[in-house]
Amino acid sequence: MFYYRFFLYFCLILYRIMKIKIRKLLINVYTIHALLALGVLIILVGIVLMGLNSYTQHGQEVPVPNVKGLKIEVAARFFTEKDLLYAVVDSIYVKNQTPGVILETVPPIGTHVKTGRTIYLTLNAYTARLLTIPSVLDMSQQNASAKLTSTGFENVNIKHIPGLYKDLVVGLEDSRGQKINAGERIPASTSLMLLVNSGEPSVELPENLEFPAENGTDESWY
Protein backbone atom coordinates (compact mmCIF):
# COMPACT_ATOMS: atom_id res chain seq x y z
CA MET A 1 0.00 0.00 0.00
CA PHE A 2 2.90 2.35 0.73
CA TYR A 3 4.22 1.95 -2.80
CA TYR A 4 0.87 2.75 -4.38
CA ARG A 5 0.57 5.95 -2.35
CA PHE A 6 4.10 6.92 -3.24
CA PHE A 7 3.34 6.47 -6.94
CA LEU A 8 0.19 8.59 -6.65
CA TYR A 9 2.15 11.36 -4.95
CA PHE A 10 4.79 11.07 -7.66
CA CYS A 11 2.19 11.43 -10.42
CA LEU A 12 0.63 14.41 -8.65
CA ILE A 13 3.98 16.18 -8.38
CA LEU A 14 4.70 15.43 -12.03
CA TYR A 15 1.32 16.84 -13.01
CA ARG A 16 1.94 20.04 -11.06
CA ILE A 17 5.37 20.43 -12.62
CA MET A 18 3.81 20.12 -16.05
CA LYS A 19 1.03 22.49 -15.08
CA ILE A 20 3.36 25.33 -14.08
CA LYS A 21 4.97 24.93 -17.50
CA ILE A 22 8.59 24.71 -16.67
CA ARG A 23 9.58 24.65 -20.31
CA LYS A 24 13.03 23.23 -19.88
CA LEU A 25 11.59 20.17 -18.22
CA LEU A 26 8.72 19.87 -20.70
CA ILE A 27 10.94 20.27 -23.71
CA ASN A 28 13.31 17.57 -22.44
CA VAL A 29 11.35 14.45 -23.48
CA TYR A 30 14.07 12.20 -22.16
CA THR A 31 13.65 13.60 -18.67
CA ILE A 32 9.91 12.89 -18.71
CA HIS A 33 10.50 9.34 -19.92
CA ALA A 34 13.09 8.80 -17.20
CA LEU A 35 10.67 9.98 -14.52
CA LEU A 36 7.92 7.73 -15.84
CA ALA A 37 10.30 4.76 -15.97
CA LEU A 38 11.34 5.47 -12.38
CA GLY A 39 7.70 5.44 -11.30
CA VAL A 40 7.06 2.12 -13.03
CA LEU A 41 10.19 0.66 -11.43
CA ILE A 42 9.02 1.73 -7.97
CA ILE A 43 5.68 0.00 -8.54
CA LEU A 44 7.35 -3.21 -9.74
CA VAL A 45 9.71 -3.30 -6.76
CA GLY A 46 6.77 -2.79 -4.41
CA ILE A 47 4.82 -5.65 -6.00
CA VAL A 48 7.83 -7.98 -5.77
CA LEU A 49 8.45 -7.14 -2.11
CA MET A 50 4.81 -7.66 -1.18
CA GLY A 51 4.81 -10.97 -3.06
CA LEU A 52 7.91 -12.18 -1.25
CA ASN A 53 6.49 -11.13 2.08
CA SER A 54 3.30 -13.06 1.39
CA TYR A 55 5.18 -16.15 0.12
CA THR A 56 7.62 -16.44 3.00
CA GLN A 57 5.08 -15.24 5.60
CA HIS A 58 7.83 -13.15 7.13
CA GLY A 59 7.56 -12.78 10.90
CA GLN A 60 4.63 -15.22 11.25
CA GLU A 61 6.06 -17.98 13.42
CA VAL A 62 4.28 -20.19 15.94
CA PRO A 63 5.53 -22.81 18.42
CA VAL A 64 4.88 -26.48 17.74
CA PRO A 65 2.04 -27.33 20.18
CA ASN A 66 2.50 -29.90 22.93
CA VAL A 67 0.49 -32.81 21.54
CA LYS A 68 2.54 -35.64 23.05
CA GLY A 69 0.27 -38.30 24.53
CA LEU A 70 -2.79 -37.11 22.58
CA LYS A 71 -4.79 -39.06 20.03
CA ILE A 72 -4.47 -37.73 16.49
CA GLU A 73 -8.14 -36.62 16.45
CA VAL A 74 -7.58 -34.37 19.48
CA ALA A 75 -4.19 -33.07 18.33
CA ALA A 76 -5.62 -32.03 14.95
CA ARG A 77 -7.49 -29.16 16.62
CA PHE A 78 -4.28 -27.72 18.06
CA PHE A 79 -2.55 -27.85 14.68
CA THR A 80 -5.51 -26.11 13.04
CA GLU A 81 -5.46 -23.32 15.63
CA LYS A 82 -1.77 -22.71 14.90
CA ASP A 83 -2.31 -22.89 11.12
CA LEU A 84 -0.01 -25.92 10.89
CA LEU A 85 -0.24 -29.11 8.87
CA TYR A 86 0.61 -32.60 10.15
CA ALA A 87 1.50 -36.01 8.72
CA VAL A 88 1.99 -39.41 10.38
CA VAL A 89 5.31 -40.85 9.19
CA ASP A 90 6.05 -43.67 11.64
CA SER A 91 4.67 -45.85 14.43
CA ILE A 92 6.41 -47.85 17.13
CA TYR A 93 5.06 -50.03 19.89
CA VAL A 94 5.64 -48.86 23.48
CA LYS A 95 4.07 -51.26 25.94
CA ASN A 96 3.29 -48.76 28.73
CA GLN A 97 1.76 -46.13 26.41
CA THR A 98 -1.82 -45.86 25.16
CA PRO A 99 -2.17 -47.21 21.61
CA GLY A 100 -2.62 -44.52 18.96
CA VAL A 101 -1.20 -41.57 20.92
CA ILE A 102 1.51 -39.25 19.61
CA LEU A 103 4.98 -40.16 20.88
CA GLU A 104 7.18 -37.69 19.01
CA THR A 105 7.02 -34.67 16.71
CA VAL A 106 9.51 -33.36 14.15
CA PRO A 107 10.37 -30.51 14.69
CA PRO A 108 10.25 -31.03 18.48
CA ILE A 109 7.52 -29.56 20.67
CA GLY A 110 8.07 -25.85 21.36
CA THR A 111 10.16 -25.20 18.24
CA HIS A 112 9.11 -22.00 16.44
CA VAL A 113 8.15 -22.65 12.82
CA LYS A 114 6.40 -20.68 10.09
CA THR A 115 2.66 -21.09 9.70
CA GLY A 116 1.73 -23.63 7.06
CA ARG A 117 4.65 -25.88 8.05
CA THR A 118 4.06 -29.66 8.13
CA ILE A 119 4.74 -31.34 11.49
CA TYR A 120 5.73 -35.02 11.23
CA LEU A 121 4.32 -37.37 13.87
CA THR A 122 5.31 -40.75 15.33
CA LEU A 123 2.42 -42.70 16.89
CA ASN A 124 2.28 -45.57 19.34
CA ALA A 125 1.26 -48.67 17.40
CA TYR A 126 -1.85 -50.61 18.41
CA THR A 127 -0.03 -53.96 18.30
CA ALA A 128 3.55 -55.04 18.82
CA ARG A 129 5.71 -55.28 15.73
CA LEU A 130 6.17 -58.90 14.63
CA LEU A 131 9.56 -60.11 13.42
CA THR A 132 10.68 -63.37 11.84
CA ILE A 133 13.21 -65.45 13.77
CA PRO A 134 16.36 -65.96 11.66
CA SER A 135 18.34 -69.20 11.65
CA VAL A 136 21.05 -69.01 14.34
CA LEU A 137 21.74 -72.68 15.13
CA ASP A 138 25.38 -73.81 14.82
CA MET A 139 26.54 -70.18 14.73
CA SER A 140 28.93 -68.59 17.19
CA GLN A 141 27.44 -66.75 20.14
CA GLN A 142 28.67 -63.39 18.86
CA ASN A 143 27.32 -63.83 15.32
CA ALA A 144 23.97 -65.20 16.48
CA SER A 145 23.45 -62.37 18.96
CA ALA A 146 24.37 -59.76 16.33
CA LYS A 147 21.99 -61.35 13.80
CA LEU A 148 19.04 -61.27 16.20
CA THR A 149 19.78 -57.68 17.18
CA SER A 150 20.07 -56.52 13.57
CA THR A 151 16.74 -58.22 12.83
CA GLY A 152 15.16 -55.91 15.40
CA PHE A 153 14.90 -57.96 18.59
CA GLU A 154 15.54 -55.74 21.58
CA ASN A 155 16.25 -58.23 24.38
CA VAL A 156 18.74 -61.02 23.60
CA ASN A 157 20.27 -62.98 26.50
CA ILE A 158 22.80 -65.81 26.78
CA LYS A 159 22.40 -69.07 28.68
CA HIS A 160 25.39 -71.39 28.86
CA ILE A 161 24.74 -75.11 28.92
CA PRO A 162 27.18 -78.05 29.01
CA GLY A 163 28.68 -78.85 25.62
CA LEU A 164 32.11 -79.51 24.14
CA TYR A 165 32.08 -76.87 21.39
CA LYS A 166 32.49 -73.62 23.28
CA ASP A 167 30.33 -70.62 22.23
CA LEU A 168 28.36 -72.72 19.73
CA VAL A 169 24.63 -71.88 19.62
CA VAL A 170 22.54 -75.04 20.00
CA GLY A 171 19.08 -73.60 20.66
CA LEU A 172 16.80 -70.61 21.18
CA GLU A 173 14.11 -70.14 23.83
CA ASP A 174 11.85 -67.43 25.21
CA SER A 175 11.84 -66.28 28.84
CA ARG A 176 9.45 -69.12 29.77
CA GLY A 177 11.79 -71.76 28.40
CA GLN A 178 9.71 -72.55 25.33
CA LYS A 179 11.68 -73.50 22.23
CA ILE A 180 11.64 -71.03 19.33
CA ASN A 181 12.31 -72.21 15.78
CA ALA A 182 13.64 -70.29 12.80
CA GLY A 183 10.85 -68.79 10.68
CA GLU A 184 8.46 -68.12 13.57
CA ARG A 185 7.00 -64.60 13.83
CA ILE A 186 7.03 -63.18 17.34
CA PRO A 187 6.86 -59.66 18.89
CA ALA A 188 10.07 -57.64 18.69
CA SER A 189 9.94 -57.06 22.46
CA THR A 190 10.11 -60.80 23.24
CA SER A 191 12.95 -61.73 25.60
CA LEU A 192 15.12 -64.29 23.76
CA MET A 193 17.54 -66.75 25.33
CA LEU A 194 20.39 -68.14 23.24
CA LEU A 195 21.48 -71.60 24.41
CA VAL A 196 25.26 -71.68 24.04
CA ASN A 197 27.74 -74.47 24.72
CA SER A 198 30.01 -73.73 27.67
CA GLY A 199 32.91 -75.84 26.37
CA GLU A 200 32.59 -78.39 29.16
CA PRO A 201 31.17 -81.93 28.83
CA SER A 202 27.72 -82.62 30.17
CA VAL A 203 29.00 -85.47 32.39
CA GLU A 204 32.33 -85.44 34.18
CA LEU A 205 34.20 -88.75 33.79
CA PRO A 206 36.34 -90.15 36.62
CA GLU A 207 40.06 -89.72 35.98
CA ASN A 208 40.87 -93.39 36.82
CA LEU A 209 38.08 -94.86 34.68
CA GLU A 210 39.38 -97.79 32.58
CA PHE A 211 37.71 -98.95 29.39
CA PRO A 212 37.70 -102.66 28.32
CA ALA A 213 39.87 -103.74 25.40
CA GLU A 214 38.39 -103.59 21.93
CA ASN A 215 38.30 -107.42 21.55
CA GLY A 216 36.11 -107.69 24.62
CA THR A 217 38.68 -109.58 26.76
CA ASP A 218 40.24 -108.43 29.97
CA GLU A 219 44.03 -108.52 29.65
CA SER A 220 44.43 -108.62 33.44
CA TRP A 221 43.56 -112.33 33.38
CA TYR A 222 46.70 -113.19 31.41
Please indicate, yes or no, if residue 204 is contained in any of the structural domains. Answer: no
Question: 111 φ, ψ to 5°?
Answer: -70, 135
Q: Which of 15, 30, 56 is the last residue of a domain?
A: 56
Find the length of the chain: 222
Residues 52 and 66 in one domain: no
61 and 115 in contact (C-beta within 8 Å)?
Answer: yes
* DSSP calls for 51-115: HHHHHHTTT-EEEPP--TT-BHHHHHHHHHHTT-EEEEEEEE--TTS-TTBEEEEESPTT-EEET
Range of the domain at 80: 61-124
Q: Which of 19, 40, 56 is the last residue of a domain?
A: 56
169 and 196 in contact (C-beta within 8 Å)?
Answer: yes
Measured at the alpha carbon of residue 48, what is the angle toward residues 62 and 46, in degrees to the nearest 5? 105
Please indicate, yes or no, if residue 37 is contained in any of the structural domains. Answer: yes
Please indicate, yes or no, if residue 218 is contained in any of the structural domains. Answer: no
The per-residue pLDDT for range 122-131, each reduced to its tens digit, is 999 888 788 9
The per-residue pLDDT for range 75-119, each reduced to its tens digit, is 999 999 999 999 999 988 888 889 999 999 999 999 999 999 999
109 and 67 in contact (C-beta within 8 Å)?
Answer: yes
Lowest-pLDDT choice from 145-149, 185-189, 191-195, 211-215: 211-215
Residues 169 and 153 in one domain: yes
pLDDT at 222: 43
Averaged pLDDT for residues 210-215: 55
Residues 105 and 154 in one domain: no
Residues 134 and 193 in one domain: yes
Decide the pairing of beta strands 191-197 and 61-63.
unpaired
Please indicate, yes or no, if residue 98 is contained in any of the structural domains. Answer: yes
Share of the chain above pLDDT 90, in %: 48
Please indicate, yes or no, if residue 21 is contained in any of the structural domains. Answer: yes
Residues 102 and 68 in one domain: yes
Residues 115 and 134 in one domain: no
| Domain count within the chain | 3
Please indicate, yes or no, if residue 210 is contained in any of the structural domains. Answer: no
pLDDT at 221: 46
The per-residue pLDDT for range 7-56, each reduced to its tens digit, is 566 666 766 666 655 555 545 566 666 767 777 788 887 787 776 665 55
Residues 68 and 37 in one domain: no
Residues 118 and 168 in one domain: no
Averaged pLDDT for residues 136-155: 92
Please indicate, yes or no, if residue 217 is contained in any of the structural domains. Answer: no
Q: Which of 124, 141, 174 is the last residue of a domain?
A: 124
CB atoms within 10 A of CB 102: 23
Please indicate, yes or no, if residue 155 is contained in any of the structural domains. Answer: yes
Residues 115 and 157 in one domain: no
Residue 4 has pLDDT above 80, yes or no: no
Residue 213 has pLDDT above 70, yes or no: no
Query: What CATH number does residue 152 fall under?
Result: 3.30.10.20
Residues 6 and 52 in one domain: yes
pLDDT at 111: 93
Residue 172 has pLDDT above 60, yes or no: yes
